[in-house]
Structure 1
Amino acid sequence: MEDSFDKLDLMLLRALCRDARLSWRELASLTGVSAPTVRDRVRRLQDMGVIQGFVAELSAKALGYTLEAIVRFKPFPGKVHLLSEMIVMTDRIVQCDKVTGEDAFVARILLKDISELDEVLEAFSAHASTQTSVVKSSPVRMRPPPPA
């Protein structure tokens, strides 16, 4: 699939990663091609599955969450499935990966303040042990993969 990308595709992907709300006209101006060409290229990238959607990025801080924590979950024997379901159903968990090693899941949770941490984690105590790290800063937030 990488071989099918040309310079225009890469320019469009970079521009859309910076601001997915750019109009066809704005994208055309940035890339030096017509708006219909831009539209067709973006649709082709969507059809290829390269662009999977356009989303609004919300500010956790503006929504009242002042802390973020990384929680590593080590499930108790026979509890992986239940733990997985709980993680999916917990809205404070904003990202989670199933990983190899002793910790089956690594998740990011949002907290309004540190006093909420025990309450959020208590719900998982019957299914897993946890290790938690409070995030001090995020020099690299989740970002799209670099175009090849």
Structure 2
Amino acid sequence: MEFILKSALDDLDRTILGALVRDARISWKDLAAEAGVSSPTIRDRVKRLQDTGVVQNFVVEISPAALGYVLEAVVRFRPLPGKRHVLEQQIQDTDRIVQCDKVTGEDGFVARVLLKEIGELDPLLEVFGRMATTNTSIVKSSPVRMRPPPF
């Protein structure tokens, strides 16, 4: 989504965004109290932030570990000649791939894969063998998870 903010964020917008990042389920009343304005003002501001595309979604974050996915891998895919589109479709169709970026350079795609055990990795990657070469790294930890941009 291409987006151009028509006016700069003010202090109230930043306060609202900070509170929503910490807890997207915060009540209008609590958000208004934190920001020092009325609940109707908060509702209007949040609606404006949504309408302008600053706030795109309110989401639930699910713990992969709680569902048994104890390993995460980063896989770089280098498409074979003429296979970029079929590779992209296969990546989209593979539910264990939870994030993927199309990138510049020698690799065409960089993906994050969830695994319950290391033995699942080879069978998962074998599907891609006719479409791409792969390079895989196991994630040891994530010092910075996806976080919002500075506002």
Q: TM-score range by the shorter chain?
A: over 0.9
**Structure 1 regions of 5+ residues with no counterpart?**
none
1:35 aligns with 2:69: no
1:69 aligns with 2:73: yes
1:94 aligns with 2:136: no
Which residue of 2 is the match for residue 145 of structure 1? 149
CA deviations 1:41-93 (Å, max 9, x no partner) are 00000000000010000000001100000000001000000000000111000
State the TM-score, normalized to the length of structure 2. Answer: 0.95
1:107 to partner: Cα distance: 0.2
1:2 to partner: Cα distance: 6.9
Which residue of 2 is the match for residue 21 of structure 1? 25
1:5 to partner: Cα distance: 1.1
3-state SS of the aligned residue for 2:99?
strand
3-state SS of the aligned residue for 1:4?
coil
* Identity in percent: 65
Which residue of 2 is the match for residue 8 of structure 1? 12
Which residue of 1 is the match for residue 124 of structure 2? 120
Opposite residue 26 of structure 2, the aligned amino acid is L
1:29 to partner: Cα distance: 1.1
CA deviations 1:11-67 (Å, max 9, x no partner) are 000110111000100101111111110010000000000000100000000011000
Opposite residue 23 of structure 2, the aligned amino acid is D
Query: Aligned partners of 1:3 and 1:37: how far apart in 2?
Result: 18
1:3 to partner: Cα distance: 3.9
Query: Aligned partners of 2:30 and 2:128: how far apart in 1?
Result: 48
Number of equivalent positions: 147
1:131 aligns with 2:135: yes
Which residue of 2 is the match for residue 106 of structure 1? 110
Query: Aligned partners of 2:124 and 2:145: how far apart in 1?
Result: 23
Which residue of 1 is the match for residue 56 of structure 2? 52
